[in-house]
Amino acid sequence: MGSARAPRTGRLARGTITGLAAARIGMAQLGHRVRTPSVAAQAEHEAALGRILFGALGQLRGSALKVSQLLSMHPGLLPDGVRQELARAHHQAPPLNRALVGRVFRQAFGQEPEALFDHFEPTAFAAASLGQVHRAQLAGHGTVAVKVQYPGIAATIASDMQLMRTALRALAHTDLPLPADAVVNGVMHEIEATLLREVDYLQEAEQLQWFAQHAARPGVAMARPLLSHTRAQVLTQQHLPGQHLQAWLATQPPQAQRDQAGQHLWDWFMHCIFALGRVHADPHPGNFLFSADGTVGVLDFGCTRSLSGGFRHQVTQAWSALLRPAADPLRDAQVLQAYQALGLARADLDLATYTHALAPALAEMQAWQIEPFTQAVFDFGRKTPPPLTAPQHQRMLGRHLAQVPGEMPAFERMWMGLMHLLTQLGARVRTSSPLFPRGTAATRNP
């Protein structure tokens, strides 16, 4: 296990990295223009630009890698070749050395971790989004999990977001099909707000308490924080049993156990979305623990999002309309009405333009989103992968989408993460609900 240095916090050094990346993007665009146009050449061009962006973010370290991860989870924002390169940030979590861990504790508590706990394991056993997790022993609580934030992370967020906007402006000068500035700015604003919440572990402790109190469901376990041993950069919480997804799947659990775990996850997320209006917005596999009895432990509540009643209502309206037969004359009208109420589609977009121009560009992603509702019991082992957005469709989206509602980036990230999680489980899940009744789904795809 290697060790991590603190991120570069000097504005000049970080600005130089981004400036060089912008220049490399320009040079790559010039080189692309002299090539013979082809699908393969375009795909390689997108990947090359993604590698340039990821390389810069990797040098910046700090919150920049988290920005890369969050951007990669927004379908339709960036071309797929760029997104796939940025997704590599999910696997980049260099551990802190012991000296840096001690520094964080001295700044937070005025003493070393060994003085706070009966026993503290200096080697982390798991990575968190912007830090790492250690096991410790605490009298009266037994084994606890202690999340330690990477030093200097919070100080780099504002500058990292500005540098990332500079890099995206450089992409806008290429021939890549990108959304309108208002759409990109909306997503970047939401990502910045997400990061600012995520580096405040006191805020995460509040979220842990809220979800444990309001979102308790059968088969789902959530840890409670220990406030006496929690500060803005250190979070101590109950230690949850279980294995991460890949380790659990390696034990070859029977289909019934996988179905049970998947059902618990589905029911919990549906309850959080449509009943509570507050969601865990970072559901990648590392944030869940699986036990032999089917119980699922949920970790890392630094990235949560409230969903307004209006947003939830319009999403329900749009998805319910999309479950109607394609020939239903009310289908497109109701979807457009919901999208305009969300502020997603332009207010002056007429039905004919939506049906003949925008709907074809959205069709594959819409079908992927609502697919679980097309059967009363859905087999996620057969879930289709997220569709790739063709360049001509990307341009159409940029032309007709007005903005990204504030709640939409977190909601899309949550939905994509949940679909990925259930697909990896290969779970068969009862997806009918009062919002999307069994009869509606079954008539579309029995």
Mean of the per-residue pLDDT values of the chain = 82
In a domain, 316, yes or no: yes
> What sign results for the dihedral spanned by CA atoms 52, 55, 59, 60?
positive
> Of the candidates 289, 305, 321, which is a domain's last residue?
305
Residues 126 and 256 in one domain: yes
In a domain, 174, yes or no: yes
In a domain, 354, yes or no: yes
Residues 83 and 39 in one domain: yes
In a domain, 228, yes or no: yes
Helix-, strand-, coil-residue percentages of the chain, each rounded to 5? 60, 10, 30
Number of domains in the chain: 3
Mean predicted confidence (pLDDT) in 417-427? 95
Categorize the per-residue pLDDT at 50 as very low, low, confident or very high, splitting at 50, 70 and 90.
low
- Cross-strand partners of 106: none
Contacts made by residues 253-258, CB under 8 angstroms, sequence distance 24+ = 253/290, 253/292, 255/426, 255/428, 257/292, 257/294, 258/425, 258/426, 258/427
> Does residue 374 surpass a pLDDT of 50?
yes
Range of the domain at 371: 307-444
Q: What is the DSSP letter of 380?
A: G
Residues 269 and 351 in one domain: no
Residues 34 and 171 in one domain: yes
HSE, CB side, 13 Å, CA atoms: give it for residue 142: 4
Residues 415 and 356 in one domain: yes
Among 10-14, 198-202, 286-290, 417-421, which stretch is predicted with the lowest mean pLDDT? 10-14
In a domain, 4, yes or no: no
In a domain, 68, yes or no: yes
The pLDDT of residue 335: 97
> Does residue 252 surpass a pLDDT of 80?
yes
Q: What's the pTM? A: 0.79
Residues 355 and 328 in one domain: yes
- What radius of gyration do the chain's Cα atoms show? 23
> Of the candidates 198, 229, 258, which is a domain's last residue?
198
Where residue 215 sits, what CATH number does that domain have?
A: 1.10.510.10
> Does residue 33 surpass a pLDDT of 60?
no
Reading phi first (left if > 0) and then psi (alpha if -120 to 50, else beta), residue 140 is in: left
Mean predicted confidence (pLDDT) in 23-28? 58
Residues 402 and 438 in one domain: yes
Residues 136 and 39 in one domain: no
> Does residue 180 surpass a pLDDT of 80?
no
Mean predicted confidence (pLDDT) in 134-151? 94
pLDDT in tens, 256-284: 999 999 999 999 999 999 999 999 998 88
Here the tokens at position 415 are 């939905």
Here the tokens at position 181 are 């500035």
In a domain, 330, yes or no: yes
Residues 229 and 279 in one domain: yes
Residues 252 and 367 in one domain: no
In a domain, 5, yes or no: no
Q: What is the DSSP letter of 272?
A: I
Mean predicted confidence (pLDDT) in 427-445? 61
> Does residue 44 surpass a pLDDT of 80?
no
> Of the candidates 168, 198, 228, which is a domain's last residue?
198
Listed in sequence order, the DSSP H helices in 87-200 are 98-109, 113-116, 153-172, 181-198
> Does residue 9 surpass a pLDDT of 50?
no
Residues 294 and 312 in one domain: no
Mean predicted confidence (pLDDT) in 152-161? 79
Residues 237 and 345 in one domain: no
The pLDDT of residue 405: 84
